[in-house]
Amino acid sequence: MPKKTDESKQDHEKGASAQQSGTPGGDGQAAALSRFGRFVRSRMGKASLAVLVVLIITGITVATQDQIASAIESARLAKLTEKVENIYTASYQSNADATLKADRSKSSHDENNIYVKDNPYGTNTTGLYVYFTTSDAVKVSYTVSTPDTDYADFSATPDKGDEYVTTHEFQVIGLIPGKNNTITFTLTAKNGKQTTHTIEHKGAKLLSEVEVQLKSTKTNTSTDLGNGLYAILGNDSDGQDFMYYYDVHGVIRGEVPILFYRSHRLLFRDNIMYFSASTHEIVGMNSLGKIVKRYNTGTNYILHHDYGMDSDGNLIVLATDLRKSTIQDAIIKIDAKSGKVSRLVDMSALYSSYEKTTEDATLGTKSSSTTDSNNKNFDADVSDIKKDWLHLNTIQVLDDGSVILSSRETSTIIKLNDIESDPTIDYMIGEESFWKGTDFAKYLLKQDGSFSNTGGQHTVTYQSDSSLPSGQYYLYMFDNNYGVSNTRPDYDWAANTPGINTSYTGTGNSRYYKYLVDENAGTYKLVSSFDVPYSPIVSSAQDLFNGTILVDSGVPGVFGVYESDGTLISQWKMNLRKNIVYRVYEYDFHNFYFA
């Protein structure tokens, strides 16, 4: 919204005075109308009718600059939303593919006449489609640079670029939006000879107002952070939602619009990347950006917080059954071939005796603004009319058909066996006092050592290790260290878990936690921990390839890379578009965007 100058503020006050005095021909009104006319002619274009309609409907007869700006922004968001909704249709993807191929075939394209097109499928704002042929089979790599800026170069070998071929088709990742980019392609022949070919291309303008380079609160360039991309899987917004890619320098390298809600994690199978695009839809996208798979949770369910894949490629999804009075307590399967949706686990039935003792409450303080789960304004996380007694936030699908779940509301990790045939509880990890007197205390593993249990943990991740004996493995997580159970107001977290925060705006720390689980002995042991910025909800932790650890503290919007002992290497701060940065995971995009 443009900032008013003193002069424009005075004009606004004069206009308001004229209205109040009942002088329809007053100077203030005339000036406002004159400014409005100039504004319509110079900036609004096709949006002018929409703005006028908004002004008429709202009863505004004298349009101030703020009112005009607000109406224009509403019109812009509505148009953008319509565009994104169209992108995720089969017809749009099919037409985009046909248009791309028809345009490309108008002439031949070799290394001296490389064909490029900005974001042909609408799924990555700054993505650049590239196509050319060579007479000899060569490998291809590229470097994106912006000589007129201080942004670091971005180099990569595209998908299949490490193969000797004569047809080269891929997506260049990494263009700086709105800047003149120099893209240098390096072709390597089988005899080792290299040639380079350079093109200049202006990067497309971002659809959102996200930062091109994040503010760095700490930078250590001596540590190898690899060449992956940090995927921002949800910077919640009242407007259009996006997933973002940032490089290890905090520079944006991709912007993926989604329908609404969040992209909870990225899954890869057979050169297709799967991600959630709304509360109902999970899509599969190929490396060029084309949507090639679509799955829908149907009318009975919405997804929330997480999903995984079984060994057959079926999607295993945390869900809310819209027909029930409880939320965020079901697991469904979406068949990879047919798209059929089936319920695997109803946790309220599995934990029936406990669920009946809990009170009606949720983490949120109010209901969604709409009950239509297909609506962009629907909030899948809150409800004051349904019970959020468990609040599952993570699922890890293991090869043997079992799953490991994280429950925020009970601050408990749960392992279930045979979820696709006969779901049963294997074990739980949590506060003994919380489950005392219930039918489920018998499932608790024994704590090995003296340490505080987690409070509202997120992104619990299963990690096998070939050096461990059978039956042992690691579970690591973001321990929010926030002890609140709205459906169990009788339970005193502060009295039972030393050092835990019970205030959303607390001043303490959250933590990275890593357990060694021994199923044979029935124990769990804390083997690694360190403090991180406090975030009472959401957030994520991820062990990286080189022993470093990526941690996102979602409420303050801070993510950073740490040494295994908790020494901070690099950290970035992202401006919140609303309340939280949901998760940040690093992906190498191997066999997808990159070779």
Describe the strand order of the beta sheet including 229-232 as a list of residue ranges.
252-258, 241-246, 229-232, 584-587
- C-alpha to C-alpha distance for 120 and 554, rounded to whole angstroms: 32
Q: Are 119 and 177 in contact (CB under 8 A)?
A: no
Contacts of 387 (CB under 8 A, 6+ apart): 325, 326, 327, 355, 358, 359, 360, 361, 362, 487
Looking at residue 62, what is its pLDDT? 55
14 φ/ψ angles, rounded to the nearest 5 degrees: -65, -45
Q: Can you give the pLDDT at residue 379? A: 82
pLDDT tier at 56 (50, 70, 90 boundaries)? low
pLDDT in tens, 231-257: 999 998 888 999 999 999 999 999 999
Mean pLDDT of the chain: 89
Residue 179 above 90 pLDDT? yes
* % of the chain surpassing 90 pLDDT: 78
Cα separations (Å) of 536 from 394, 526, 566, 578?
16, 21, 20, 16
Query: Using 50, 70 and 90 to split pLDDT, how confident is the model at 23?
Result: very low
Mean pLDDT of 503-510: 92
Task: State the average pLDDT over residues 565-581.
Answer: 95
Tokens 């606004």 belong to residue: 12
**29 against 491, higher pLDDT:** 491
d(CA 244, CA 481): 27
Q: Check whether 25 has a pLDDT greater than 50.
A: no
**Six-digit token pair at 440?**
């489920």
The mean pLDDT of 564-577, rounded to a whole number, is: 95
User: Is residue 366 very low, low, confident or very high in pLDDT (cuts 50, 70, 90)?
Assistant: low
Q: Let me know: does 539 contact 180? Beta carbons within 8 Å.
A: no
How far from 212 is each of 68, 208, 571, CA to CA, in Å?
27, 10, 16
Q: Is the pLDDT of residue 1 over 80?
A: no
- Residue 517 pLDDT exceeds 60: yes
**pLDDT digits 0-9 by tens, 428-487:** 999 999 999 999 999 999 999 999 999 999 999 999 999 999 999 999 999 999 999 999
The pLDDT value recorded for residue 51 is 52
pLDDT for residue 63: 65
Position 311 scores a pLDDT of: 95
Q: What is the mean pLDDT of the segment spanning 67-92?
A: 90
Q: Looking at per-residue confidence, does 531 or 1 come out higher? A: 531
**pLDDT value of residue 504:** 94
How far apart (Å, rounded) are the C-alpha atoms in residues 181 and 205?
13
Q: Tell me what the mean pLDDT of segment 178-190 comes to.
A: 98
Q: What is the pLDDT of residue 493?
A: 97
Q: What are phi and psi of 445, to 5 degrees?
A: -70, 155
Looking up tokens 């083997």, which residue turns up? 527
Look up residue 297 and give its two tokens: 């949770």
Q: Could you tell me which residues are beta bridge partners of residue 559?
A: 552, 572
pLDDT exceeds 80 at position 27: no
Q: How many C-beta neighbours within 10 Å does residue 313 have?
A: 14
* DSSP symbols for 464-477: --TTSPTTEEEEEE
Task: Give pTM, 2 decimals.
Answer: 0.88
pLDDT at 558: 97
pLDDT at 42: 43
What is the structure's pLDDT at 380?
A: 84
Among 7-11, 217-221, 589-593, which is the least confidently predicted range? 7-11
Please determine, for residue 382, whether its predicted confidence score (pLDDT) is greater than 80.
no
Q: Of 12, 76, 66, 67, which Cα lies nearest the Cα of 44?
A: 76
* Mean local confidence (pLDDT), 511-519: 98
Please, which pLDDT band fits residue 540 given cuts at 50, 70 and 90? very high
Q: Other C-beta atoms within 10 Å of 71: how many?
A: 22
pLDDT confidence band for 38 (50 / 70 / 90): very low
Burial class (CB in 10 A: 0-12, 13-18, 19+), 90: exposed
pLDDT at 395: 98
The rounded distance, in Å, linking the Cα atoms of 583 and 307 is: 14
Spatial distance between the Cα atoms of 126 and 159, rounded to a whole number of angstroms = 17
Q: How many CB atoms lie within 10 A of CB 194?
A: 11
Question: Which of 351, 382, 340, 428 has its CA nearest to residue 579?
Answer: 382
Q: With 60 as the cut, is the pLDDT of residue 31 above it? A: no
529 has pLDDT over 90: yes
d(CA 377, CA 77) in angstroms, rounded, equals: 13
What is the residue type of 49? L
179 burial via Cβ count (<10 Å: 0-12, 13-18, 19+): middle
Residue 457, CB-side half-sphere exposure with 13 Å CA sphere: 29
Confidence band of 554 (pLDDT split at 50, 70, 90): very high
* pLDDT over 60 (residue 137): yes
Q: What is the predicted pLDDT for the residue at 41?
A: 42
- Domains defined for the chain, CATH in brackets: 6-87 (no CATH), 104-202 (2.60.40.10), 215-587 (2.120.10.80)
Residue 9 predicted with pLDDT over 80: no
Q: pLDDT per residue over 92-104, tens digit each?
A: 999 999 999 999 9
